[in-house]
Structure 1
Amino acid sequence: MADENKVIIKVNDNGSLRVTGVVELVDAEGNPFEHKEAFSLCRCGASANKPFCDGTHKSIGFDSAPRAKQA
């Protein structure tokens, strides 16, 4: 399998979830959101454009930098 089909979700320090790759994002009723192949999802809860990030995390001092546990 080629990696070009791989979806990657990166947890940005003190910021959004960056999604790259071909993925369908739907609401609770299954309706698709329009988005580009790479987009950022809000993690702080303060975006005025939910579920997408609008950069508000910078002005509210959102602080979260989790790390994946190594096996």
Structure 2
Amino acid sequence: MTGEPRAARTEEVVVTACPDGPLLVRGPVRLVDLAGREIERHRATVALCRCGGTAIPPWCDGTHKVNGYRSGDGS
């Protein structure tokens, strides 16, 4: 618990680069595809693929664990 009011925490967008894995996106962010269409989110926190191997883009499906993806930047 950070002591911040709950409303203040829910307005913040946080993107966490998991080492050798996805980008975890938390908060009220709007995701759009290349055509500008909104991508519907079903969860408050989503995992976006960085390895390019997912079968369910843009979401991570864990493929990075089997295809040897390395972020190479320490994150």
TM range (shorter): 0.7 to 0.9
Q: TM-score, normalised by structure 2?
A: 0.79
In the TM superposition, residue 28 of structure 1 has moved relative to its aligned partner by 1.5
- How many residue pairs get aligned? The number is 68
User: Which amino acid is 2:60 matched to?
Assistant: C
**Aligned equivalents of 1:13, 1:52: Cα separation in 2:** 16
Give 1:14-53 correspondences, 5 Å limit.
14-35=20-41, 36-53=43-60
Structure 2 unaligned residues grouped into runs of 5+: 1-6
Q: CA RMSD in A?
A: 1.9
Q: In the alignment, is residue 59 of structure 1 matched against residue 60 of structure 2? A: no
Structure 1, unaligned stretches of length 5 or more? none
In 1: Cα distance, 2:65 partner to 2:59 partner: 14
